[in-house]
Structure 1
Amino acid sequence: MSDLSHSSPAAPAARFRSPTDEAPLARWLLIAFVTVALAVLVFAPLIAVFVEALSKGWEAAWKSLISREALPAIKLTLTVAAIAVPLNAAFGIAAAWFITKFDFRGKAFLITLIDLPFSVSPVVAGLCIVLLFGANTAIGSWLVGNGFPIVFALPGIVLATVFVTFPFVARELIPVMIEQGRAEEEAALTLGASGWRTFLTVTLPNIRWALLYGVLLSNARAMGEFGAVAVVSGRRESATTMPLKIEMFYNEYQAAAAFSMAGLLAFLALLTLLLKTWLENRHAGELSANRRGH
């Protein structure tokens, strides 16, 4: 009989390294790379814009923003956003409801069409609007003759802005509504609730934060859109939004006015981002509870 006391000890179990358990050097190199990239590509340009905008003081920056050249562009930008964002919200809700609550052929193709503005150049989108509603076309000439011009006017700018921003709300709502399913709506309909009441009391409370996130993103993009608006507006003074006016000021060597308006536009974008982040942190628990419940 062999002596168990002299048997060779068992080999130690092999240590398995987690895929995310990187060496300290690798972690620090990745952190340093991301930090430097953010500093060079994001923070440095933003800081430069605000420094240049305030280089002559707050009073000079304020006067340049309320001048006769700048104030109409600011008003037009806010007007376009005030029209385009609610339209996008309505479209996003309708598209998400239709896609998530009904089964039909071509659903995947419809979702792809919703993403189309993400892949089409805004300049191409603006050119399509000009080719469709320009004064040289049948539709455009009829509209101009009846006093409703589209191109080089507010309606064309709104159309261009709606086109480039309409996926934001829908893409926020579709995953949330797919995850929630149809059980609650079907139960409400079974109990006798109308479709509109079901939407207001069941669907809307469940999607309100996703809807708000999509609206905020759409609003930020609407205020900062340049390419499509530049084509549709024809860069006319009466159809100039803030991004276009910034370029005009800069090309006319009005650096203080250009950077002041750029600073205002950047501030509005940062404010939108901060509001979105605050809402996410403020209602993170409620969102998690809703998702666990479904």
Structure 2
Amino acid sequence: MMPNTWFLLPDFTFTVDGPLRLGMVIPHWSKPTTVLATVGCGTASDIELPPQITIVEPNHAHSRSQSRSGGLSMWATFEGLASTSAGSDSGKNNNINYSEANHDIISFRDPLTPEMVAAIANLPAVRAQIDSGMFGKRPVYIVSGLRIATSSFTVTKERGSNFSMEAEASGPPAGTLPVEIGGKLRHERQKTVTDTYDTAPGIVFAYRLHAIRTRRAGLETELFSHKSAFLTGAGGETQEPLILVEATQDEIDEDIEEERLD
């Protein structure tokens, strides 16, 4: 089954021959420019990775939206003589749209072998990151896929907010006639900001990761694990077996070190 979790870059200025490349090892899934090591063909490392393949996916268009709202209301009666009510409501929304573009997906042709994973984990900077956890071993992440937008596309960002407030009161008049008097007040405010720009062709649209980590407590199934893939200590002793797994949202949420990363 092909991995399907992609992470968007902070901006669309990374080119295919830039700092974000297949085989790059990073300490955190959200920090693609913080590099622990770069392995594979054309690097200083002697670790061999599988050959790369490119799949063409035309006519990609994407949109994302997020909204949040909240309200408050109050009502009170005073000795049966008067009543008051008040309420307010506020909300925010963020929308982003990417116009149609052709995508090239660059990935490894074959899975990483246990020997490759073990060699990556035992690089000094990578091993130091794994051993830096407060409650156990931290994972590291290897870039296993790049989604390249081969043609320019338009990015439209829209940010909006709204606020409304309403108050109402009623009660008997000051005179002797058997009628009620009352009043109602309402205030509304809305604000929308829209920004649009066109990207350059050949930029990295998103990246895909695999996590290299040690086995967690409990039974784990359908994960890469092999006795030849292990961390070695300073004296050469075997420490813990390694696991290679796609970096999905569920996988990240289960990391006990995740909330303590900057």
- The TM-score bracket by the shorter chain reads under 0.3
Taking structure 2 as the reference length, what is the TM-score of the superposition? 0.24
Structure whose residues are more often strand by fraction: 2
Structure with more relative contact order (C-alpha pairs < 8 Å, separation 6 or more): 1
Q: Which structure has the greater CA radius of gyration?
A: 2
Taking structure 1 as the reference length, what is the TM-score of the superposition? 0.22
